[in-house]
Structure 1
Amino acid sequence: MTTLLLDAGNTRLKWALYNNQVTAKAFPSMQTLDYQLEGNNPLGLAGLQQVLQQHPTIQNIVAVHVLGADFEQSLQALAQDHHLPLQCVKSQAQGFGIQVAYHQPERLGADRFVALVAAHHLYPQQACIVIDAGTGVTIDALLASGEHQGGLILPGLRVSGQALIQRAKASHLAQSFDAIELFAKDTIQGIGSGSVFGLVGALEGITWRMEQAMGVPVQRILTGGDSALLKQYLGADYQYVPQLIMQGLQVITELS
């Protein structure tokens, strides 16, 4: 069976095709679709419609998203048009080896739940700290038993830098992460570099504190849209896993 895996975040939709006879090592590369806002519909799904037309072997869709009811209704309608079963993954108190720490488990972002599922199955005998660096940066702690300890949320790189520009009423400045320098030589470079090193320092400090509080060695896992940039400035003990959400969706597909 060929499954279309979808990860719809705040700024971009990622997708991959998964065949349950394919091993994880042969997992396909992710593709991305940029969002197009259309009135009350948070995402124009024309690109996804094209994907379904180009891959007639798709037999079902497994998705995770953070875009609310309008997007889910649009996705359901698209799936029905193509006569495809659709599973939208939700956070739950306990499932797929994970016990969520939130007092109201359904309020944990579904993408964070899927990332925890992936981490637990990639590193089944190890405690983990999962960092998803996108529009927001989430940091979740997970014991080897699958017990989620809770987590933190920070502004992402572009959010923090843009907030500074807006607060300073410096609309003539544009964010840039093209030339990151510890000793920046102009304001634009200073904001971009400051955002990067500020977030790197925060991640290093928070993960160290979490590891100390958990009382066991941890595997630090880095994913999300800005993870490729951040990994250049983080230590070697951060494992870069750009397909973490897709791997979590793969696990959920296999176990559902």
Structure 2
Amino acid sequence: MRLLIDVGNTAVKVATERQGQISVISEPTIPWQDVSEVLIAQVGKNDDLEPILQQAKSRSLPYMFATVTATLGDLVCAYPEFNNLGIDRWLTVVASHHLFPGKACVIVDSGTATKVDVLTASGQHQGGWILPGLDMMIDSLVANTQKVFSDEHTEFATSFGKNTPNAVKNAALSATVALAQRAIDEIEQSVEAQQLQLVFAGGYGELIQQHLDNSGIYFDDLVMQGLIYWRKYQQNA
């Protein structure tokens, strides 16, 4: 059994993997006696990771931090300076390439930040965009303007706002949906509709999917699936 750890900008997500089956668990319930190795995708520093690493070290368990490389099998990173690409973005690309072979993918991963990445059917990463996540957009606007406010009760939509919280939240969602649609429009110029797969992930991924295209597929473990495929490449190298 592998232990998978996704260290995001605001939280640490832990899961176990056995024969390709991923189960998200909480840190206190990690079945250490069954763990054979630990795979880590770390975007930012998080103190919650350290106790997990200490447990792995105390049990002499091997642990690996996933890294971005210029190529991974037939995958090609779009960044000339590939080390500047976030590992979370790279792993969503890795996962999408293997989950949808022979298809071009537009990947929308929305959490603390929203990342949009484009991948061709042949495995050429086209690059992508990063913008603040919905909450960060709202917090920044409210903190830096007068008489603009939001609340926790107003739901996100894409209609015109009829009050200030509506206007703020709906603008954040509309801007995010429009950016993702722009990526779709760009890639649709070169591929047939049936050759394009939309992939959604992150805490706001399902919301964006609902307002963009329900034919896409949402994954709550896309980074962790990427970790599994990334590890297979290391084993076969």
Give the TM bin, normalised by the shorter chain.
0.7 to 0.9
- Aligned pair 1:149/2:149, yes or no? no
Alpha-carbon distance in 2 for matches of 1:88, 1:195: 33
Match of 2:203 among 204, 214, 225: 225
Aligned pairs, how many?
231
> Shift in Å at residue 181 of structure 1?
6.2
Q: Equivalent of 1:83, from 54, 57, 60?
A: 60
User: What are the residue-to-residue correspondences of 1:60-139 with 2, within 5 Å?
Assistant: 60-68=37-45, 76-139=53-116
Query: Structure 1 residues 238, 105: closer, same or farther in 2, change over 3 A?
Result: same
Percentage of pairs with the same residue: 29
- 2:24 aligned residue (19, 30, 39): 30
Output the amino acid matched with 1:162: D
Counterpart AA for 1:137: T
**Could you list the per-position Cα deviations for residues 103-141 of structure 1 after superposition, in whole angstroms to 9, with x for gaps in the alignment?**
111111011111111011011111111111111111111
Alpha-carbon distance, 1:207 to partner: 2.2
Query: For the Cα contact (< 8 Å) 1:140–1:152, is it kept in 2?
Result: yes
Change over 3 Å in CA distance of 1:176–1:93 after alignment to 2: farther
**SS of structure 2 residue aligned to 1:64:** strand
Please, what is the CA RMSD of the aligned residues?
Answer: 2.5
TM-score (norm 2): 0.86
Kept in 1: contact 2:149–2:165 (CA 8 A): no
Q: Per the alignment, in what secondary structure is the counterpart of residue 56 of structure 1?
A: helix
TM-score, normalised on structure 1? 0.80
Residue 36 of structure 1 corresponds to which residue in structure 2? none
User: What whole-Å deviation, never above 9, does each CA across 1:142-164 have from its counterpart, x for those lacking one?
Assistant: 11221111111111111111111
Residues 120/173 of structure 1: CA separation in 2 closer, same or farther (3 Å cut): closer
In structure 2, C-alpha distance between the alignment counterparts of 1:107 and 1:139, rounded to whole Å: 16
Which consecutive unaligned segments of at least 5 residues does structure 2 have? none
In the alignment, which residue of structure 2 is the partner of 1:246? 224
Cα 1:15/1:177, change in 2 over 3 Å: farther
Structure 2 Cα separation of the partners of residues 170 and 82 of structure 1: 55
SS of structure 2 residue aligned to 1:233: helix
